[in-house]
A = this chain, B = another copy of it.
Amino acid sequence: MSENEKLTEEKIFEAATVVFEEEGLSGARMQTIADRAGINKALLHYYFRTKDHLFEAVFTKLAKKMFSKFNPIFEKELSLEEKIRFFFREHISFMQHNPKLPGFIINEINHNPQRIKKLLSNIDFKKLWSTILEHHAHELYKYNITEENLPQIMTTIASLSVFPFAARGILEIVFNNYGVNFDKYIEDRKTFAADFVIKAITK
C-alpha cells in the first residue's frame, strides 16, 4: 500500500536523521537506524539502496532546512535594526529546537565539501547580499556597512548565532563550572547578540 510505504519510508528517514545527526556519517550504523525505526536492516536497503543514498537524502533535507532560515533577512520588510533583532530571535529559536543541526552540517561539509556544492553553488551570494545594501540604502548613513565589509559582517552575525550550538559541548563544560545554565545563556543571547551587532555597526 502506498500509504503504508510512505509510513515506513518516513519512519526510516526520521530514524536516520536522528542517528546521523548524533553520530555523523562515518559513526552511524545501519543497524542502529533500523533498530530506531523498528524494522530490520534489509528494509533500509530496500528503500534507500545504500548507506550513502540514505545519508545524502537526510543531509540534503537538513542542509536546506538550515540554510533556508537565512532567507527572511533578504525578504522581510523591516528596518535594518528590526531585521537584525528578528534574525537572532528566529534563528536561535530554530536551533533551540534543532540543537545538533549546526555541528552536524558544519562537520559533514568539512569532511566532504563537494556534497554541499551543488546545493549552494547556484546561489549568487554577491547579488543576494547586495540586496541588503539596496533594501536599506536609505538608512545606511547610520551604519558602517559597505560592500567590502559585508562578508565580515554577515559571517559575524552567523557566527554569533551558530557558534554556541556548534561548540555546545565545550560551552556546557565551561558554563557548568561558571555556574551558568546553557539554556538561559541561549535565551539571553537572542537580545545580547542583536544589541552587540547593532552597537558595533552603528556610526
A interface with B by C-beta (< 8 Å)? 23-27, 100, 103, 105-107, 109-111, 113, 116-117, 120-121, 123-126, 129, 149, 151-152, 155-156, 158-160, 162-164, 166-175, 177-180, 185, 188-189, 192-193, 196-197, 199-200
Contact = CB atoms under 8 A, between A and B. Distances in A.
A18 to B, nearest CB: 14
Contact of A120 (B162, B177, B188): B177
Nearest to A130: B178
A85 B125 CA distance: 30
Given A179-B126, A200-B196, A109 B169 contact: yes
B103 A106 contact: yes
A199 B203 CA distance: 10
A103 B107 contact: yes
Given A23-B111, A199-B200, 17 more contacts: A24-B24, A25-B27, A103-B110, A105-B170, A106-B107, A109-B167, A109-B169, A113-B169, A116-B173, A120-B170, A124-B177, A126-B177, A126-B179, A159-B163, A159-B164, A163-B163, A197-B200
A27 B111 contact: yes
Nearest to A147: B178
Given A159-B163, A163-B159, A125 B178 contact: yes
Contact of A113 (B160, B173, B179, B188): B173
A158 B163 contact: yes
A170 to B, nearest CB: 6
A161 to B, nearest CB: 9
Contact of A151 (B23, B100, B178): B178
A185 B106 contact: no
B172 A113 contact: yes
Given A23-B26, A152-B192, A155-B163, A177 B125 contact: yes
A33 B25 CA distance: 20
